[in-house]
Structures are given as C-alpha cells and as structure tokens.
C-alpha cells in the first residue's frame, strides 16, 4: 500500500491505496464517486475518462503508482451537479445525447478537456478529439454528441444564453411531438444515476461477490466438478454448482410452435451433464471480495470429455454430426412459407430469373458500453429479489422460476437497475439473473455479479447468423412475380426464441414488395457457437441483406435503375406482405419519392468525386419491421390520482436507453393534460415487478405502440371518470367523497386489430398491427489500394407515424444507422480467440461514422398507434448494411455477399480474386 495525496474536484485528500490499483477502482471503490464508469476496462471506450493535471486520461488504464502526488483530478462530479449543470451537461440534455447515458460522464469530461484547450472548435476538431481519446458511444451515432459540444461551446463563449439550451413549454402546455427532455437525463449527465455496478458497490456489508467458473471449450461432457480446493481459499463462503440448485436447473426457451422438435428446456442455469458453448457457467464462487472470488475460480477442478464442436450451421447440419442435445436433432425447427401459386412454373415462365446462394450476415455482437451486471437478495418476506438489465422482467421471471424452484410474482421478483447502459436486445434473454438467484438461494446472502468486458463479449447472446439462398422471377418491366427462399439460422446451443427468429425470415425476406407468389423454408440449427439472442431489428438485417442485394442484381440485369425497380415493386393498395397481410399504410412509394432527388444528387456527386484511388458509390435499400411480438401482444398500465393531485403511472416499459421514461411520460401527459396535469405532476413507477404491472418486454419496437395504447386507455378511464359537468377534473378529495375510484388499469392488445400468429406450415398470418417503413441511401468511398470502405453519408427516409418525442426519435435513428455501418463493415464475433474486446469486435469509433447523417420523415398517422405513432427502435438497423454493400458495388464493382465487408474482402474483389465464402452443403434437411 502507498499513501497518495491527491486533489479530487477541488478537495485535497490523502488516500491509502494499492499502487497496482487503477485510478478508476480508487475513484469508484474507495471514494464512491460512481459517476465515473468502467466499460471495457481496457483503454478502448473512454467511459472512465477523467482530467488529471489538465489532460484527459482513461482512469481504468492508470495505475495509482503512476498518479503524481497532489495530482489535480476532475471527475464528472466536479463538472456540474443536478442543481448546477455545466454548459456541456445542459447541451447533453438538450440534444438527447444521453440515451442509455452510460458513456455520458466520460464524454462530458473529455469534452471539458477539449474546451479548456480550444474554446472554439470546429465540428471536425470535436470528432478528432473524441477519436483520439477513444470515447465510444453505442447509442447515439455520435452526431448528437458533437451537436451538444458545439452548443455548449457557444454558451461558454457567450454567443447564446442558457435559455437556448432549455425547454420552452408551448403555450398549450402540450409536450407531444416536442423535444421535452427525458426525465432521467439529468441523472445521466451528472453521473448521479446508479447503474448496476454502482448499485453493487452500495450494497450492504456482507454482500457476497460472485465470480463464475466458465467453460474454456465449446462442447464437452462433464465428468466431475471438484470444488474442495476452491472452498478452502481465503474469503470463500461457498462454491455453488448444479447440485445446489433446488429447481429444474433449466431456463425455458419458450417454444412458440408445436412443430419445434425440442421442448425448450435445453439451457442449464449451471452446467450439469454437458458444456454446450465457450463460456458456459459451471460453478459460482461466492466470496467476501472480488479478488478472493477470482482467485478461487482457478482452483475449481472440472474434468471434461471433449466432444466435437460444431461452430457453424453447415458443420452442425452435416449428416455425421452428433446431436448437441441428445434426443433432439441439430436441425430442430422448420418454417415453410407458402404464398400464392406454386413458384416453379412461374419461374419457368418469367422473363428474367436471378438467384444467389448463401448470403450471410454473421454474429454481430451487441457491444453495449456497460457490461452485464446483477444483484440478488431475499427481502423481508423471504422472496428472492433480482435487479438486473433485464428488458423483460415478467417474461424473465417466468423463464427462470422453475429452474430455481420458485414462482414468478409469488416469491421471485425482478426489477431493473435505475440506470441501464444499453442492451440492444441481448437482455431479451435472461443472462446472469438465474446465476445470481441460484447463488443467493444457496448462500442465503445478498450477492453481486459484475461481468468484465471479456465475459460480456464471450458469454452473452449474439445476433444469429442466417445463410440465405434467394431467387426472384420477374417480368420484363421489373415486376417480381415469384420468389423462392431457403434459409438456415445458426442459433447456437440454446433454443430460446429460435423458432420465432426463423419465422422472421419468412416475414422479412422480400418485404416491401407485393410479391404474390412465394415458396421457401427456413431451418433452425443448433450449434456450439454463441447462443442466439435478440438483437435490434431481430432477423430483419439478415433477411433484407439477401432480398435487397438481389434487388440490385435484378435491376442491373433488367437495365433498370435500382431505386426505380424498388418503386415499381413497392407495396401499393391490394398488395400484401410476404405473410399475406395488407400493410396498414402504403407510404413506401412516397418514401422513394422523397429520397429520389437526394439519390440523384448523390450519384452525380459520386461521379464528380471518384478518382482511381478513391472510388465513390451510392446504394439504396428498403427496410421494414413490425412493432410487436407476433400475434396477440398486450400490455397493462396502472393510472392513479394521488392525494396531492399528482398522477402515478405504473408499468414495465423497460429502458435500455431508448427512452422508455420519456415515451411513457409524453403518452400519458397527452391525455392527462385534459384535466390540467403538468408533466412534472406525472410520477412514473417503472420496471419493478413489485410495484408495476406487466407492460411486456421492450423488444420488437413494440412499447410505444402496445404499451402506449394501454397508457392512453388507462389515462382516458381516469380522465372520463373524474370529468365534472363543466369539463374540469375532480380533485382527489372530490373523487373520494363521490365514491369514484381513483385508480384504473389500462389495457390494450393487438387483438384490437385481429392480429394472429403466422401459420406453422405456410407462415401466412397477421402478425403485427403496425409496421415501420424506411428507405436507406448510402454514400461510400472505397480506397482501391487497401479495400477500406468509408461511409461518407447515410440518409434514411422514415415513416414511423406520429412523433412522440422528436429528440428521442432522431437519436434512435442516428444510433441505429451507426450500428448498421458497424454491421456492414467491421463488427463480428466469429473467432473466439480474436474477437474478445470492444475494439477487436469492430465497434465503430466516431470517425467510422459520418457526421453527415440525414433523416427525412414522412410520418403517416397509424390507426392502431397511440396518437398515430408507430415504433422506431429497430427500423434504422433493418437494412442500412444492404444499402452500404450496394454502394460498394456501385463504386467499384465488388459484390459482397457475406458480412462484414472487411478491407481484405473488398481488396480481393478489386484484384479480381475470389472472395472467400462459407457455403452450406445441406439445404433442405427435412
Ligand atoms: N418514439 C417516439 N415516436 C415514435 C415512436 C417511438 O418518440 N413515433 C420513442 C418512444 O417513446 C421510445 C423510443 O422512441 O422512447 C423507442 O420506442 P419503440 O420503438 O416503441 O421501442 P421500445 O421502447 O420497445 O424499445 C426497444 C427498441 C429495441 S427492440 C431495441 S433492441 C433497442 C431500441 O429500442 N435497444 C436500444 N433502442 C435502443 N436505444 C438505446 N439507446 N439502447 C438500446 O439498447
Ligand atoms: Fe476505461 Fe473503457 S477506457 S473503461
Ligand atoms: Fe452513449 Fe449509450 S448513450 S453508450
């Protein structure tokens, strides 16, 4: 230990520290200044940025022995407070720059360092600064962050007043459609909201620290687990194995279709008979400190018999592959699609047929800046309480209850941490909840488990790769008359929602076009690579990559412009979706109309700016996604007038960072303002099974539509019940005196639109009440010497219905586009040895994303959406990567069919070499 004098945020102090400890650990662990976050822990994300002696540094990579004596250190707490915001914090709130907010303290500290040096930076200088300081944001697409810095600098230079960064309430008091700031923004920009790791640090003494014993192989039989040495290690309270689990020790994968050959009970909480993938949890060490727990992990002895590991769908589909889950075939589900007439004769008759094989979109990693984290404890009633990043609290409680020997909602309750640092869908699966639950039950003590970033990457679900074969038959005018599709989904070892994901292929391959006749089938394949979990736009990026690439191939063969070919085929009245549903609005042609002038200008510019060294290109794609879980999807919301005149609105609209709080507040306020309620009088009670009813999971961009309608229903019941003859609302006392209830349960479900599941044999049905529509325009520059692709501009023409909150909507789209650029060009989790950090997985830094992101809204009101709103979250990630790859082809003639479009692949194409691809030997396993 060493004595270290420092000056933190103006306070001089002397600390006793381990010289090897990081500054981040000391700031957070010893000083409890938890505004500074730890994300990657490896100097790759900037979440831990602080200013030391005038320089922005990463505190996770600065050992205490390197901190100079009397160092002047500024953390986010020294920049501003909730009651006295710094200009940067005001601007961050104004621009919606804190979505999940986990990166916000690091960015704001970093930006403060910039403005201290350069009070008048140009936009590109701001971008250069964040690039140099490795500040990563996974939510915002970076543009709002640069907007915020520019505005803060203006305020600091006295060019604008603070009012310009505040919200100006319209005269009618209506916040719907405005940029009213989200309620959680101030907590996020000041670092005062507790994320899971902050919460864990503040747990009571005696809380056990958990570390996992994880499989280092991908497929093996477990012969024995010996914990005796580990249990003798200092500070170890207990090592939990499957034998300590009282319930079924399984997490149900909730089989959706009876045609699924599995039963859904294939995922162990703690491995018992087999290891199914790298990272699988085999035991949990529970100790007094994290260091003790970590040391003991090494001492658990696991004897394994190695089995062949099937690391891709083709490998697991091979006829000689053994069953990964004995008794269930590796190809365990088939979803056929049968629409209209038989396609074989139509293909014969078609003027032109185009087909391509094995389109592939790979294992995109979610890469939230915050790694996974969980706390569990027993409450005073003996019920198990679990706090986590879950985005499906009730759903997850039901999925893990039987495995733990508990009953959801009776003695098992889930809630979200106050701050959740992004999930992008991986938390649609329970991850660490059941593990912490098992440890709390086995020890009877509160427990805390915090993943490091390596675990986040290697042991949370990933986007499931699709292999797709696709064929279009068209007439000479470009109208597609028939489509044939065949796809295989590599879902990893666990079946969780695998059938549903396979159905997405039927729903979205070829979506956007009124193709009357379709035949095809999709297959779900069990493999030993990462388990498939939801990822934003779930199944559609894989689907559209095939259908939107083949559209360009067809256009070229026909000699028709790619945008015009889409216009010819775009949904028009009378057309139906691939699943035979009439679209609820027909705005695709309008979206193409608004993008057309931009497209033409982009083509001209590409031609003007292209050189042999740097070739420019332009590409387009159509993207669509449904808002909801398939078929009947409902939500419940409670609305209650309180004695003080405020209104409490309660539900689970789980926040990943998308803005659940502002969505709920705005939707409720639009009704409640009829009785004079102001936004600040609405008290949100969110995301706690103990306190709020089930709104359903925050997936499938469903919440604004499905929960939003339930909110409207609940609020209308309250307003109507309390309406007086003169039109004003009763007070609480008047209502009680008049015996009028003050609490209402708002409900809504897609049954109101006669939604149905898609048929197991034909995929025909009415799965969603409301869809989102978009047309993407990508402009790229290809370096012909290296094959490196730079996206210079992305434009999205979007129809997401009525705007609920403008800043939130814009932010969702910018962030989704950035993830699409990553998906197209760099992101991957294929190589278990290589893809093990944020940077190695290809996360886009600010200079990988163009500052030039443009959104054009064509917002058609939706009959089934609250106030006409559709959803938005997933639209921007449906098919931007297809537009980018079409642009690469347009620039240099290289056609990428398997993502990501890494420089070496593009370069191989430029040099006329074969671009390596993975192929499926078996196409129709049954
Ligand atoms: N909204 C709006 N106007 C509309 C539609 C929506 O202002 N016409 C707002 C809503 O009020 C809400 C947000 O946009 O604040 C997203 O709404 P919606 O599309 O209904 O999506 P959900 O609330 O169901 O959120 C889930 C969706 C999904 S499925 C993923 S995955 C996702 C996403 O949103 N993960 C995210 N966006 C994310 N954004 C961040 N920052 N982090 C994630 O992990
Ligand atoms: Fe320190 Fe990522 S750079 S946590
Ligand atoms: Fe930047 Fe979520 S707001 S990572």
Question: With contact defined as beta carbons under 8 Å apart, do 429 and 534 qualify?
Answer: yes
**Token pair of 245, please?**
């689990």
The DSSP code sequence of 274-288 is: EE-STT-EEEEEEES
Distance, CA of 835 to CA of 456 (rounded, Å): 12
How many angstroms is it from 816 CA to the middle of ligand 3?
12
- In the annotation, is 716 catalytic? no
Which ligand is nearest the CA of 43, by number?
2
State how far the Cα of 897 lies from the Cα of 361, in Å rounded to an integer: 8
**CA atoms of 836 and 853, how far apart (whole Å):** 30
- The distance of Cα 636 from the centroid of its chain, to the nearest Å, equals 23
Among 704, 816, 877, say which to mutate for ligand 1: greatest number of ligand atoms within 8 Å of CB: 704
Q: Which helix (H) or strand (E) holds 503?
A: helix 498-508
Pocket of ligand 3 (CB under 6 A): 98-103, 137-140, 369, 422, 657
pLDDT digits (tens, 9 = 90+) for 333-387: 999 999 999 999 999 999 999 999 999 999 999 999 999 999 999 999 999 999 9
Ligand 3, closest atom to CA 145?
Answer: 1
Q: What is the pLDDT of residue 926?
A: 87
Nearest ligand by distance to the CA of 422? 1
Closest approach atom of ligand 2 to CA 40: 2
Largest CA distance in the chain: 84
pLDDT at 685: 98
Walk me through the domains of the chain, giving residue ranges and CATH numbers.
Answer: 1-193 (1.10.150.120), 201-310+376-459 (3.90.1170.50), 587-626+766-910 (3.30.365.10), 634-753 (3.30.365.10)
Of 290, 370, 496, 874, the active-site residue reads 874
Helix (DSSP H) and strand (DSSP E) numbers for the chain: 24, 30
- To test the pocket of ligand 1, the residue of 425, 658, 803, 811 to mutate (highest count of ligand atoms within 8 Å of its CB) is 658
**56 ligand 2 Cβ < 6 A:** no
Compute the distance between CA of residue 758 and CA of residue 772 in angstroms, rounded to an integer.
Answer: 19
Q: Would residue 659 be called left, alpha or beta, if left means φ above 0 and alpha means ψ between -120 and 50 degrees?
A: left
Pocket test for ligand 3, best of 92, 366, 369 (most atoms within 8 A of CB): 369
Could you give the CA distance from residue 488 to residue 498 in angstroms, rounded to a whole number? Answer: 11
Ligand 2 centre from 46 Cα, in Å?
5
Identify the segments of the chain with pLDDT beneath 50.
none
Nearest-angstrom CA–CA distance, 509 and 468: 9
40 lines ligand 2 (CB under 6 A): yes
Q: Which atom of ligand 1 is nearest to the CA of 99?
A: 41
Measured CA to CA, the distance from residue 436 to residue 153 in angstroms comes to 45
Distance from Cα 704 to the centre of ligand 1, integer Å: 8
> Ligand 1: which residues within 6 Å by Cβ?
99-100, 139, 422-425, 536, 656-660, 662-663, 698-704, 800-805, 808-809, 812, 815, 869-874
> Angle at the Cα of 344 (from 338 to 345), degrees rounded to 5?
120
657 C-alpha vs ligand 1 centroid, how far in Å? 8
Closest C-alpha among 891, 893, 909, 883 to residue 825: 883
| Closest approach atom of ligand 2 to CA 59 | 1
Q: Give the separation between CA 658 and CA 690, rounded to whole angstroms.
A: 23
Q: How many Å lie between the centroid of ligand 2 and the Cα of residue 58?
A: 6
The residue to mutate among 98, 176, 809, 873, having the most atoms of ligand 1 within 8 angstroms of its beta carbon, is 873
- For residue 771, report the distance from its CA to the centre of ligand 2, in Å: 38
Taking the centre of ligand 2 as the mean of its atom positions, its distance from the CA of residue 839, in whole angstroms, is 11
Q: Which atom of ligand 2 is nearest to the CA of 38?
A: 4
Do β-strands 55-58 and 49-52 pair in parallel, antiparallel, or remain unpaired? antiparallel
**Residue bearing the CA closest to ligand 2, atom 3:** 43
Output the CA 841–ligand 3 centroid distance in Å. 17
Mutate which of 28, 34, 47 for ligand 2 pocket (most atoms within 8 A of beta carbon)? 47
Q: What is the pLDDT of residue 254?
A: 80
* Burial profile 122-160: b = 16 or more Cβ within 10 angstroms, e = fewer: eeeebbebbeebbbbbbbbbbbbbbbbbbbbbbbbeeeb
Closest ligand, as measured to the CA of 50 = 2
Report the nearest atom of ligand 2 relative to the CA of 369: 2
43: left (phi over 0), alpha (psi -120 to 50) or beta: left
Atom 1 in ligand 3: which residue has the minimum CA distance? 137
Ligand nearest to the CA of 869: 1
Atom number, ligand 2, closest to the C-alpha of residue 24: 1
Residue 683 alpha carbon to ligand 3 centre in Å: 25
For residue 107, report the distance from its CA to the centre of ligand 3, in Å: 10
Nearest ligand for residue 103 CA: 3
For residues 889 and 618, the answer to whether their CB atoms sit within 8 Å is no
Instruction: Work out the angle between the directed axes of helices 143-156 and 123-132 (0-180°, nearest 10).
Output: 120
For residue 423, what are the contacts with CB-CB under 8 A and spacing of at least 6? 366, 368, 389, 391, 656, 657
**Ligand 3 atom closest to residue 421's alpha carbon, by position in its atom list:** 2
Report whether residue 369 contacts ligand 2, using a CB cutoff of 6 Å.
no
């Amino acid at each position: 230990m060493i004595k270290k004098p420092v000056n933190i945020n103006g306070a001089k102090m002397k600390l006793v520290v381990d010289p090897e400890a990081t500054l981040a650990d000391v700031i957070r662990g010893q000083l409890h200044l938890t505004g500074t976050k730890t994300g990657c822990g490896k100097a790759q994300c900037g979440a831990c940025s602080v200013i030391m002696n005038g320089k922005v540094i990463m505190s996770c990579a600065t050992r205490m022995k390197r901190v100079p004596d009397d160092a002047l250190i500024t953390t986010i707490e020294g920049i501003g407070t909730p009651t006295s915001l710094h200009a940067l914090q005001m601007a961050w709130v104004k621009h919606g720059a804190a979505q999940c907010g986990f990166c916000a303290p690091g960015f704001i500290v970093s930006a403060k360092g910039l403005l201290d040096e350069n009070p008048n930076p140009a936009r590109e200088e701001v971008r250069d600064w964040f690039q140099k300081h490795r500040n990563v944001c996974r939510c915002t697409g970076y543009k709002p962050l640069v907007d915020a810095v520019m505005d803060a600098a203006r305020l600091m230079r006295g060019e604008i007043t603070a009012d310009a960064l505040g919200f100006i309430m319209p005269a009618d008091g209506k916040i719907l459609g405005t940029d009213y700031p989200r309620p959680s923004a101030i907590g996020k920009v000041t670092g005062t909201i507790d994320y899971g790791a902050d919460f864990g640090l503040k747990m009571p003494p005696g809380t056990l620290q958990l570390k996992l014993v994880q499989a280092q192989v991908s497929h093996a039989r477990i012969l024995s687990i010996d914990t005796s040495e580990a249990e003798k290690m200092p500070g170890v309270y207990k090592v939990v194995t499957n034998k300590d689990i009282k319930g079924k020790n399984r997490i149900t994968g909730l089989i959706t279709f009876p045609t699924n050959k599995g039963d859904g009970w294939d995922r162990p909480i703690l491995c018992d008979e087999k290891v199914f993938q790298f990272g699988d949890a085999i035991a949990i060490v529970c100790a007094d400190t994290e260091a003790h727990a970590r040391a003991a992990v090494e001492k658990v002895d696991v004897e394994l018999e190695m089995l062949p590991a099937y690391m891709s769908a083709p490998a697991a589909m091979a006829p000689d592959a053994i069953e990964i889950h004995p008794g269930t075939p590796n190809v365990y589900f088939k979803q056929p699609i049968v629409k209209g007439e038989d396609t074989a004769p139509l293909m014969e008759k078609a003027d032109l047929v185009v087909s391509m094989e094995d389109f592939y979109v790979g294992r995109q990693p979610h890469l939230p800046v915050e790694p996974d984290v969980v706390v569990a404890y027993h409450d005073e009633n003996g019920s198990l309480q679990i706090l986590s990043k879950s985005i499906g609290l009730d759903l997850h409680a039901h999925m893990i209850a039987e495995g733990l020997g508990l009953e959801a909602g009776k003695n098992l309750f889930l809630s979200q941490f106050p701050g959740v640092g992004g999930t992008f869908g991986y938390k649609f699966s329970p991850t660490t909840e059941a593990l912490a639950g098992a440890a709390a039950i086995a020890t009877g003590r509160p427990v805390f488990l915090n993943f490091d970033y390596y675990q986040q990457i290697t042991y949370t679900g990933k986007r499931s790769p699709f292999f797709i074969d696709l064929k279009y038959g068209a007439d000479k005018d470009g109208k597609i008359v028939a489509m044939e599709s065949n796809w295989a989904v590599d879902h990893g070892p666990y079946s969780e929602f695998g059938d549903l994901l396979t159905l997405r292929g039927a729903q979205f391959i070829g979506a956007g076009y009124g193709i009357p006749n379709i035949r095809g089938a999709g297959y779900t394949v069990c493999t030993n690579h990462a388990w498939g979990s939801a990822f934003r736009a779930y199944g559609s990026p894989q689907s559209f990559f095939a259908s939107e690439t083949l559209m360009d191939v067809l256009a070229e063969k026909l000699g028709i412009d790619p945008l015009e070919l889409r216009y010819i085929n775009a949904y028009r009245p009378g057309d139906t979706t691939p699943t035979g549903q009439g679209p609820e609005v027909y705005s695709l042609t309008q979206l193409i109309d608004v993008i057309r002038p931009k497209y033409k200008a982009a083509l001209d510019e590409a031609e003007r700016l292209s050189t042999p060294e740097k070739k420019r290109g332009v590409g387009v794609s159509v993207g669509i996604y449904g808002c909801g879980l398939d078929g009947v999807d409902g939500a419940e919301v409670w609305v209650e007038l309180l004695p003080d005149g405020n209104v409490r609105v309660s539900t689970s609209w789980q926040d990943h960072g998308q803005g659940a709080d502002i969505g709920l507040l705005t939707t409720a306020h639009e009704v409640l303002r009829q009785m004079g309620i102001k936004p600040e009088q609405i008290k949100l009670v969110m995301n706690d099974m103990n306190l709020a009813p089930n709104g359903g999971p925050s997936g499938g961009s469903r919440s604004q539509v499905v929960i939003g309608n339930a909110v409207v229903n609940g609020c209308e019941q309250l307003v109507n019940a309390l309406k007086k003859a003169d039109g004003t609302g009763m007070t609480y006392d008047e209502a009680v005196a008049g015996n009028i209830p003050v609490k209402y349960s708002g409900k809504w479900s897609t049954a109101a639109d006669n939604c149905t599941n898609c048929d197991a044999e034909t995929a025909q049905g009415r799965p969603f009440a409301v869809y989102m529509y978009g047309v993407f325009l990508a402009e790229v520059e290809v370096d012909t010497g290296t094959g490196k692709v730079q996206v210079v501009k992305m434009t999205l023409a979007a129809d997401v219905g009525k705007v609920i909150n403008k800043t939130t909507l814009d932010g969702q789209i910018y962030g989704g586009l950035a993830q699409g650029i990553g998906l197209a060009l760099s992101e991957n989790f294929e190589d278990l040895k290589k893809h093990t950090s944020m940077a190695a997985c290809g996360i886009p830094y600010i200079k990988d994303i163009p500052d030039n992101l443009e959104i054009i809204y064509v917002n058609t009101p939706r009959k089934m959406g609250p106030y006409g709103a559709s959803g938005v979250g997933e639209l921007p990630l449906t098919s931007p990567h297809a537009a980018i790859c079409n642009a690469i082809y347009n620039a240099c003639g290289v056609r990428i069919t398997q993502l990501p479009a890494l420089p070496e692949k593009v370069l191989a194409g430029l040099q006329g070499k074969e671009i390596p691809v993975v192929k499926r030997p078996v196409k129709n396993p049954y």
